[in-house]
Structure 1
Amino acid sequence: FRLVDQDKSSQLQHLRMLEEALDDVRESEASQEKFFSQMSHDMRTPLSVIMASVELARQQEGDWARTDDYLRKIQVSADQLMKLINSILEMSRMEKTELILSNDPCDLREMVSECLSPFQAQADLQHKTLDVTFDLRHPRVYVDTFRLQQILNNLVSNAMKFTREGDSVRVEVTQSGWQEEEICRIVVQDTGVGISPEFLPQLFTPYARENRFGTQTVIGTGLGMAIVKTIVTRMKGQIQVESTPDVGTTFTLTIPMESVPEQPVQTEAEPEKRSPAEVLGGKRVLLAEDYEMNLEIGTELLKLCGAEVTQARDGQEAVGLFQESEPGWFDVILMDMNMPAMDGCAAAAAIRAMDREDAATVPIIAVTANAFSEDMVATARAGMNAHITKPIDLQELAGRLEQLKR
């Protein structure tokens, strides 16, 4: 009888485990269905604005002011769509692979100020106030600047988004600590709509979004805060949040950062920043891109700056064109990563391996939709000098070329 009872008990335990597993699967499927439904809505919203604005812009005959307004709407909606896609891809990567951090020396005051300058312009346009204050004993620190900017962008963009006209957002950056290691404390405080006590525990959960009656619908994935939490944890830091509905929200981050040893002050003057036309004018550019529309737009942008462009539609063609050119003919190669026949990394490696003097010295810059750290590592290993993301930002490209020239 004991054996029968044990058998029944074991079967019941297995049944309970199966039921729990089935409940988990159902919950996962429901979450996925809700997520894809939200993503479909959030992608269609800016897409519908883009499509409608294109049609309306076509109908304007000589009314450049209205045409310019429609172009601005297209730009804003395209930026929203790009951020949406980047957030989804970023979270997917973080869930599957360990986040790799770099350790760059930087001036914390300069880096934060530069990161927040677009928000200052946004605040002026929207009649809001953005106050940024610093109290730094050792401004020069080692930190992953890209990831810290990502944290700031998420926190400050949310603060600006949910702060009403006439209200303010405050960012405070301070330091404390002993000797080489500093604890950086960043406070982002707004006087916006706040977060409800019910939603607060879910704030850092991927895909979670608060929908309160009377709150304006905001496009987003519900991934921004989950990404922030992941990065802060990887940096061995902490993030705390305090919020009161209709009063505001305060985020407090503490992140350990090693100080950069002090060096003698350089008296050399900072070189004057030149315009894209000044940098690219007269340059011979080899542009490798398999997507015809991107190739056409990239070519036109470069030509507007006075560059002479040679087109390649895959990596193999780019290698062939470089091989057939006279030594020193091309001033720079702009290389897509994902191309048929031969990808950008393989093409860059093949060019670097050629037995000609300019093969080792010609600047090769990755121009790609892939903006993740492992992609940047792959391009560097292939012999590329720099990595910029699509769409081509001519000012960023010019800046990279100026850095390489030095």
Structure 2
Amino acid sequence: MTIARAAVAAPAPYTAGTTAVAVIAPQAGSGYADVLARRGRDAVAVILGFDARPPAYSGVAPDEGYSDVIEYAGDLRRTVKKLRTVGVDAVVAASPVGVELAERIAWQLRLPGSGIPGSTQLRTDRGVQPEALSQAGITAPRALRTASVAEALAWTDCHQASAYQLASAAIGVPGRPVICSTKQQITAVWPQLQESAYRYSGDASLVLREPVEGRHYVVDSVTRLGPDGPQHAVTGIWADLHAPTGLLARTDLLHRHDLLARRLSLYVCSALDALGVASGPMSCHVAFDPERGPVLLSASVVTNRSRADEAVWEISGLDPIDATLDGALSTYRAGSDVPRYRVARICVNVPQRGVPGPGLLQTFAALPTTACVDVDPSSFISRSAPPLPGGDACEIVLAHARSGAIERDYHCIQALMADLHRI
């Protein structure tokens, strides 16, 4: 269930057309067909066949609005031939497991893709990215990518630290990384993390990384191919705020004109070059270490679309899909560098004994600055943490021209949740 209220006027309708967009590896409820229909485009789904998909992948439902559904079973030439027949003029990866295939299809069709085939792991694997950055002379954390717990334990002997972060190598696997301070903790959580990694990505590799100090940020960008190569533009910088439990509590959209934002932007653009990003939207998770400066934690192609994501993109006027369809870089540069609205994304975890019900959700939705209340899983929630044990999670998007109005509603949300936790 999702409750949403538009925070700004709806954008002008797109001119209807007859061109088709290949949507690679969409899953049920991803919403890409509707999004493209609003832009006058037909959506052709390319779903993964049984032998080409991870266990947790689920294809699209028959009633999701795709003009055609093509199954990719390992024969790239056959799939590309079918897409040429229907007149595809753009390719979009609709899930993390679809990025590699999307790049290969785009290359064969001579269309823009997020990168060159054969280097996809640079844009989808947090275990490969640190080495690529280090080779380019860019600050990166020390990390080990492995499927062997014995190798991971041996690595800790050579790289002493007070704690380590353990996560799936593949980006997009649900759940947050686990902090481990002992070898026993690494050994204990390894099987569960490895099973989840394989289930959602088809790759059982995990990444053990040194801790990185400093506040965390999310830097969003779009890239297009220019006459002199890829051109990157930062479209948003978000500052994370964590609760005492370690869970992500909220993230706030920052202005992009101060020195910190400029430093983050310069670092990310250099990182995108090192990761071979050629076109389209990316999202980079960066820590700002007090001594080392910006440090990339992960970078990924933007594929997920939650209702909360769409509310934020409507407010900003920058939907990542337009970076693929219309070259959003030129639109971004023509706009103001200062957002018209302050925006905060709030992550709410509900305890099992609490009874949120429709009434509490309606209360959230009725707050003056609420743009969206989304109880569906989103990229924001999956990267922050799973819900509290036995609980549910929802996301609230707050937007207003004045930061004080957002803070009043945020304190109201905190008070409501404190009451619920006392039940």
Choose between structure 1 and 2: higher strand proportion.
2
* Bigger Rg, which one: 1
Choose between structure 1 and 2: higher helix proportion.
1
**Fold equivalence (TM over 0.5):** no
TM-score between the two structures when normalised by the length of structure 2: 0.23
TM-score between the two structures when normalised by the length of structure 1: 0.23
